[in-house]
Every structure is written in structure tokens, then in C-alpha cells.
């Protein structure tokens, strides 16, 4: 397909797309066609004969990566198997898989998520002699992450914590595991310590693009700088920086200006997404922030509906009202359900909305929330697979050693830990030692239990590593440990819960099946699968999303747009979030940016809901509207009026809808 770039793009966009040699900084306001620029830019490079394998496009979320890859494929009409579009973390995994041996890990390393990490920190704290009450695991986790990403040092920190930290680092290595920070930090270390490796990657990825640059951390910036020669393009918007709590630092935009003084700079300010009503509101909200790169968005879509405010009595009412309005607008404006987005600040708010949608028979899709992979039953099975893949993984081993119950309880684990400590080996090795050496003091019964547990793991390691049909083998494993029996037993008074959990396990297995049968999947091994799912938080199964209302956090909504957007729970304490404000004063501005991101997701209509009361920990609390609401010029807003009476035609349409719903699947 031959693209007419000049036709398809405005002058600034064209500038950005065609400047493929040399450093380029694109400041792209919300809705200014940033994704379009990136995809066209990739297409332009390919057209100029640059091989796909030398292009590296990095984004922040899996969703964004997936979407970008898809769009480039659509625009070029090619499959592009060797084009690298991935998140920073996935890219780190890719490098580590090949290079981590240089730092003393083995390639079958485990990736620890936050739960695993906190568990390990807890163990290390206990080891170091902390009492569980005096030790705040969450705080330690954040501190450790800050230290690892070089945002903090040990100055002024209780030195007990530093000890725990070193213990933690040592334990990770001993277990052949890494945490999320390591996925970026270790590649950086490798590139610094092995210049020849760095050169190899530099030669390979000669054209680099980074999306959502305002969300990169210092560490990620380092990785980029080690990798990039001259052809590096970063795209960002300081006004949409909403990940500073995770180390994102929009100062990186300034760093970039310093490090690549010869750069070209393009600002995209024309907004094609929203009405001027919505843009004016957004502009005047963000104007309250200091220290920004000034750029007011301009839109050719004059006018537009006013921003409507709702004031439901409580969160239940809120859900019902939103559900009702969605149905009304859908009919009036002839929209599909997937053209609606309902945004919230925190995941726990999804619950009421989901219930309301269920009650109103509105199809919806939740992005985020308690992730599929965070569910206990799923984590259990995955822990088995991790231990099978990486026997030294003590955290996951402890997790499953007695799930389902097999007689290896607290005391036995303590004994085994003693053995491991005295020999300086992993728990798994300790188990093997106990099996092989009858002179180690150990209760006979438990020794037998340990032996059969080891036998199970070894048998399945053989199966899972050396043969095909991963899904079949995993099902066999689930059967072998009688996980179903365990679920029934563990949920004695709740058949439904047991069934539900088992269905989740089934769907996990089905997911493996689809994944390994995908013809584009070049490496359907257990390791590859584990690496992949470690980076997925959402349940990203390829479902048919069309025709479903989108329910998600504002963070998850970044980069997306909807014709009609609801911002629910727009109350003081929720946005800005009380906890964020406790942390520091810069956080008000970040919360404001978050609100700005939410507002700018809307194309046509924006509705904001403020509850009068909300239940918090089972206690109803009176709500105060978010202070950000006052930053919207009054003339742009109005209270929501009920839709006018439906015409006869429309009534007929409603009935048809209802009938369809009870017939087969409604659209």
C-alpha cells in the first residue's frame, strides 16, 4: 500500500513522520494524533527501506504496545514478524533471557510480582530479626524500589532496613529470581559492564521510538541512552505524566534536550478528538499546574454539548443513573456500547458499576481491577509451574508446598529451612538432601511426604519441559494434585465459589492452549509462557470487545478515547486521592493531570458524577465534590436533565433491544 503522507497528515505531523534520521522530540498534546504519527513514522521508515528488525518501539503498557503493533500492521498491510514493539519491561525480559547469565543468574529465572516480592521481603525481615509488628512491608517494598531505581539512597533511613534490603537482594539471586525493577536495572548493568554486548544491541536497534516518554523512569531513560545512537525519537506530553509514583519523571524530557542538543522538536497542538467545550474545560483545568511546557490545545470542532454533572445519592444510585443514561444516549445518538467509557480513580469503584450494568443488562468490559492472574487459584497453579521451571524459586515453593494439604506444614517447613540455612542452599535442595540422606534428622512421615512431593515435581518437570502440549500437561498436573478436591474442601459452605474458582483454572488452561496453538508463536515453551504472563496484569485474553461499555481506571484509559465519557466518583479524597496528597505536595499536580487525562478522553460528551454519600468500609460517609470541578468554567457545565420523552420510533427501538436481549445475544 502506498501512503500519501502529505494528504494524511497535518504539517506538524508530516514533519515528525518524515524526520527519521537524527534525534527528535515530539511534544504531543492530548488527542493530537500521536499514535497516528508513530504508526505512520514506522511505516515511512519501512518504505524508505529500513529493515523492520532495526526498529524498536517502546511503550509503557501492554495494551499500548499491542495496539501500536496492530496499527502499524494495518497501515503497512504487512505482518512484520521482526518489528519490535513492546513495553520496556517486556524488552528487558527479552534481553535478560539471552544475557542474564553474565550476571550469574540462569536463564530460567523467575519474575516476582509485588505479592511475591512482599513475601520475600517479609521473610528477609524475619531473618534479620525484625518483629512483624514493627516492620511495614509495603513501606519497605517502596523504599527498596526507590533505592534500586536510584531515586533514594540510605541516608536517613533506619539501617535495619538496609540490612533487610541486602538480604532481599541476595535471596533473589539465590532463588534465581528478579523483581520488576530488575527487568530494567539488570539490562542497564549488563550494558554498562559489557560494552561489546551493548554495541551488539546498538548495532541491531538503529531506530528507536519511545511513546509516553513523560512516563519513563530515570532507569528506563538510562537504558534508552545506552542503546540509542542518534536516531531516537521520543513522544510525550508533560501534562499527561501520571506515573511518578512508579518512578516516572517528566524531567526526562529536559534530560533529553540536554543529552541530544542537536535534536529536532515538533509540537502537536491541534486536537482532533474533542469538542471545544471539552477542550476549554481541559485547558483551564491544566492551567492551574505550574512548571509545564505551555501548549493550549486547539480544536476545529467548535461548540459541543455542555459537560453534564450528576449528583446521585450514593454509589448504588450512581451506578443505576449511569446505566440509565448510557441506554438513553445510546438510543438517542445511535451509538454502540463500546463507544462509552466509564472512568474511575480506583479499582474498587468498579464493583458497584459492574453490578448496575449487570442489573441493567448492559454488556461491559472491565480493564484492570483484581487481575485474573492475581486470583489465588490462578497464582497457585502458576506457582507450581514456576517451581517446575525454576526449582530454586523458594518463594513459590513455599507457597505451594502444602497446597493442597500434603502433610508438610509449618513445622516441617521450619525444619527444612534450618537444613537449607546450615548448608547454604535452597529449600528445594534441602528437600533433596533430606530425601537422599537418612542421617539428617527428620520425622519419617514427613520425609515420605517430602519424597512424594519431590517425585511429583520431577515428573512434571520432565513432562512440561521436554514435550509439547503444554495445556494438556498442565491439566494433568491440576488433576494430579487434586486441585478440584482441594477447592471443594476449602469452600465447604460455598459450592458456587469452588466452581467459579475451578472455572478460572479451566480458563487459564484454555488460555495456554490458545497461546501455544497460535501459529505466530515461535516459542511455545513453558519459560516463554511464564515470562509472558509475568508482565500481564490485566486479563488480556483476546475477547471480542465490540459492543461493550468500557469500565476502567483513568490510568488504564490513557491513550484511549470514547465518544461519551463518564467520570464516576468525582469526589474529594478520591480524585485527588487522599493518600496521594499525604505523600507530598507535588502530588496535587499529578492528580490534576490525572483528571485532565480523564477529561480529554472524551470526544463528544462528558458526564461527571459526584455522589452525596459513599460507603467506605461499610460506613456511609458524606462526600465533598472534587476541588478540580471548580476549575472548570461554570458556563461549560450544567446539571444533567433527563432525556426528553422518547418518540414512538425510539420506543419501538427500545422494545426491539429488549427482545433481542432475551432472544440471543444482544449487540
Partner DNA sequence: CGTCTCCAGGTTTTT
Partner DNA sequence: CCTGGAGACG
Residues in contact with DNA by CB under 7 A are 60-63, 87-90, 113-115, 122, 132, 138, 180, 242-243, 245-246, 345-348, 368, 376, 402, 405-412, 415, 443, 446, 489, 535, 537-538, 552-553, 555-556, 577, 579-580, 583, 617-618
Cα torsion through 536, 538, 541, 545, rounded to 10: -140
Closer residue to DNA (CB): 269 or 527: 527
The least CB distance from residue 555 to DNA, in Å, is 4
CA dihedral for 295, 301, 304, 310, sign (positive or negative): negative
Which entry of 12, 13, 35, 350 is annotated as an active-site residue? 35
34 is catalytic: yes
The least CB distance from residue 231 to DNA, in Å, is 24
Which entry of 240, 367, 537, 600 is annotated as an active-site residue? 240
CA distance 542 to 536: 13
Which entry of 211, 315, 320, 539 is annotated as an active-site residue? 211
35 is catalytic: yes
Closer residue to DNA (CB): 615 or 660: 615
The least CB distance from residue 179 to DNA, in Å, is 9
Closer residue to DNA (CB): 296 or 432: 432
CA atoms within 13 A on the CB side of 475: 11
The least CB distance from residue 367 to DNA, in Å, is 7
The most distant pair of C-alpha atoms in the chain lies apart, rounded to whole Å, by: 88
Smallest CA-to-CA distance from 352 within 317, 326, 313, 310 is with 317
What DSSP character marks residue 50? -
CA distance 177 to 217: 22
Q: How far apart are the first and last CA of the chain?
A: 33
DSSP per-residue codes, 166-196: HHHHHHHHHTTEEEHHHHHHHHHHHHHH-HH
Which entry of 379, 601, 603, 605 is annotated as an active-site residue? 601
Closer residue to DNA (CB): 66 or 461: 66
Burial of residue 299, with CB atoms counted within 10 A of its CB: 0-12 exposed, 13-18 middle, 19 or more buried: buried
CA distance 258 to 255: 5
The least CB distance from residue 27 to DNA, in Å, is 23
Closer residue to DNA (CB): 468 or 615: 615
The least CB distance from residue 187 to DNA, in Å, is 13
Give CB contacts under 8 A, 24+ apart, made by 495-501.
Answer: 501/375, 501/376, 501/377
CA distance 507 to 499: 12
Q: What does the block give as the cell for 5? A: 503522507
The least CB distance from residue 408 to DNA, in Å, is 6
Residue corresponding to grid cell 464493583: 351
Q: Which residues contact 522 (CB under 8 A, 6 or more apart)?
A: none
Closer residue to DNA (CB): 126 or 476: 126
H/E element, 16? helix 11-18
Give CB contacts under 8 A, 24+ apart, made by 614-617.
Answer: 614/314, 614/315, 614/569, 614/571, 615/314, 615/315
651 is catalytic: no
Closer residue to DNA (CB): 242 or 470: 242
Closer residue to DNA (CB): 13 or 87: 87
Q: 3-class SS at 26?
A: strand
The least CB distance from residue 302 to DNA, in Å, is 34
The least CB distance from residue 62 to DNA, in Å, is 5
DSSP per-residue codes, 202-217: HHH--EEEESSGGG-B
Closer residue to DNA (CB): 10 or 347: 347
The least CB distance from residue 575 to DNA, in Å, is 9
Strands 177-179 and 110-112 turn out to be parallel
Could you tell me if 420 and 428 are in contact, meaning their C-beta atoms sit under 8 angstroms apart?
Answer: no
Q: What does the block give as the cell for 298? A: 486547539
601 is catalytic: yes
CA distance 137 to 128: 14
- Give residue 573's region: left, alpha or beta (phi > 0; psi -120 to 50): left
Cα torsion through 104, 105, 106, 111, rounded to 10: -170
The least CB distance from residue 498 to DNA, in Å, is 13
Q: 3-class SS at 604?
A: strand
Closer residue to DNA (CB): 123 or 280: 123
Smallest CA-to-CA distance from 114 within 438, 514, 395 is with 395
Q: Helices then strands (H, E): number in the chain?
A: 28, 17
212 is catalytic: yes
Closer residue to DNA (CB): 14 or 486: 486
Q: 3-class SS at 279?
A: helix
SS3 for 237-269, per residue? CHHHCCCHHHCECCHHHHHHHHHCCCCEEEEEC
The least CB distance from residue 432 to DNA, in Å, is 18
Find residue 296's DSSP bridge partners.
none
Q: Which residues contact 636 (CB under 8 A, 6 or more apart)?
A: 277, 280, 281, 306, 307
Closer residue to DNA (CB): 137 or 646: 137
- Give residue 247's region: left, alpha or beta (phi > 0; psi -120 to 50): left
Catalytic residues: 34-35, 211-212, 240, 601
Amino acid at each position: 500500500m502506498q501512503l500519501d503522507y502529505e494528504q494524511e497528515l497535518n504539517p506538524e505531523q508530516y514533519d515528525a513522520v518524515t524526520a527519521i534520521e537524527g534525534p527528535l522530540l515530539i511534544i504531543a498534546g492530548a488527542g493530537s494524533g500521536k499514535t497516528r504519527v508513530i504508526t505512520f513514522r514506522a511505516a515511512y521508515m519501512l518504505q524508505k527501506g529500513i529493515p523492520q528488525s532495526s526498529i524498536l518501539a517502546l511503550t509503557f503498557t501492554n495494551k499500548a504496545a499491542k495496539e501500536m503493533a496492530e496499527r502499524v500492521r494495518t497501515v503497512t498491510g504487512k505482518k512484520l514478524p521482526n518489528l519490535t514493539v513492546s513495553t520496556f519491561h517486556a524488552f528487558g525480559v527479552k534481553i535478560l533471557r539471552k544475557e542474564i547469565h553474565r550476571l550469574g543468574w540462569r536463564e530460567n529465572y523467575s519474575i516476582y510480582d509485588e505479592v511475591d516480592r512482599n513475601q520475600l521481603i517479609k521473610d528477609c525481615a524475619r531473618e534479620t530479626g525484625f518483629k512483624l509488628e514493627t516492620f511495614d512491608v509495603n513501606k519497605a517494598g517502596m523504599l527498596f524500589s526507590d533505592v534500586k531505581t536510584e531515586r533514594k539512597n540510605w541516608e536517613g533511613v533506619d539501617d535495619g532496613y538496609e540490612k533487610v534490603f541486602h538480604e532481599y537482594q541476595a535471596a533473589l539471586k539465590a532463588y534465581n529470581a528478579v523483581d520488576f525493577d530488575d527487568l530494567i536495572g539488570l539490562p542497564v548493568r549488563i550494558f554498562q559492564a559489557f560494552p561489546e554486548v551493548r554495541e551488539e544491541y546498538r548495532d541491531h536497534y538503529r531506530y528507536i521510538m519511545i511513546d509516553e516518554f513523560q512516563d519513563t523512569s530515570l532507569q528506563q531513560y538510562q537504558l534508552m541512552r545506552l542503546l540509542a545512537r542518534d536516531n531516537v525519537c521520543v513522544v510525550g506530553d508533560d501534562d499527561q505524566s501520571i506515573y511518578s509514583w512508579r518512578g516516572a519523571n517528566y524531567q526526562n524530557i529536559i534530560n533529553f534536550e540536554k543529552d541530544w542538543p542537536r535534536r529536532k522538536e515538533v509540537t502537536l497542538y491541534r486536537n482532533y478528538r474533542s469538542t471545544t467545550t471539552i477542550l476549554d474545560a481541559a485547558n483551564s483545568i491544566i492551567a492551574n499546574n505550574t512548571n509545564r511546557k505551555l501548549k493550549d490545545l486547539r480544536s476545529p470542532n467548535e461548540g459541543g454539548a455542555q459537560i453534564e454533572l450528576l449528583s446521585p445519592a450514593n454509589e448504588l444510585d450512581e451506578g443505576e443513573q449511569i446505566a440509565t443514561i448510557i441506554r438513553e444516549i445510546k438510543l438517542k445518538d445511535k451509538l454502540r456500547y463500546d463507544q462509552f467509557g466509564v472512568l474511575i480513580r480506583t479499582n474498587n469503584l468498579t464493583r458497584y458499576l459492574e453490578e448496575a450494568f449487570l442489573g441493567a443488562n448492559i454488556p461491559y468490559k472491565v480493564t484492570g481491577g483484581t487481575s485474573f492472574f492475581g486470583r489465588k487459584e490462578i497464582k497457585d497453579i502458576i506457582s507450581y509451574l514456576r517451581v517446575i521451571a525454576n526449582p530454586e524459586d523458594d518463594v513459590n515453593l513455599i507457597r505451594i508446598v502444602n497446597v493442597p494439604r500434603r502433610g508438610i506444614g509449618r513445622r516441617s517447613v521450619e525444619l527444612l529451612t534450618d537444613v537449607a540455612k546450615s548448608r547454604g542452599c535452597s529449600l528445594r535442595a534441602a528437600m533433596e538432601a533430606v530425601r537422599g540422606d537418612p542421617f539428617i534428622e527428620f520425622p519419617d512421615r514427613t520425609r515420605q511426604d517430602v519424597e512424594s512431593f519431590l517425585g511429583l515435581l520431577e515428573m512434571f518437570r520432565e513432562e512440561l519441559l521436554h514435550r509439547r502440549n503444554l495445556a494438556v500437561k498442565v491439566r494433568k498436573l491440576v488433576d494430579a494434585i487434586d486441585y478440584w478436591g482441594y477447592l471443594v474442601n476449602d469452600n465447604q459452605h460455598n459450592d458456587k465459589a469452588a466452581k467459579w474458582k475451578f472455572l478460572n483454572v479451566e480458563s487459564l488452561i484454555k488460555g495456554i492452549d490458545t497461546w501455544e496453538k497460535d501459529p505466530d508463536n515461535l516459542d511455545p515453551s513453558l519459560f516463554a509462557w511464564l515470562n509472558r504472563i509475568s508482565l500481564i496484569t490485566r486479563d488480556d485474553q483476546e475477547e471480542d470487545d465490540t459492543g461493550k461499555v468500557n469500565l476502567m481506571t483513568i490510568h488504564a484509559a490513557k491513550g484511549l478515547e470514547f465518544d461519551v465519557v463518564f467520570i464516576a466518583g468525582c469526589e474529594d479524597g478520591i480524585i485527588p486521592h487522599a493518600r496521594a496528597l499525604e505523600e507530598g505536595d507535588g502530588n496535587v499536580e499529578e492528580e490534576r493531570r490525572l483528571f485532565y487525562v480523564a477529561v480529554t478522553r472524551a470526544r463528544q460528551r462528558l458526564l461527571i458524577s459526584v455522589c452525596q454519600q459513599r460507603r467506605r468500609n461499610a460506613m456511609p460517609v458524606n462526600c465533598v465534590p472534587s476541588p478540580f470541578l471548580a476549575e472548570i468554567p461554570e458556563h461549560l457545565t450544567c446539571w444533567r436533565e433527563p432525556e426528553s420523552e422518547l418518540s414512538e420510533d425510539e420506543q419501538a427501538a427500545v422494545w426491539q433491544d429488549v427482545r433481542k436481549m432475551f432472544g440471543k445475544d444482544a449487540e
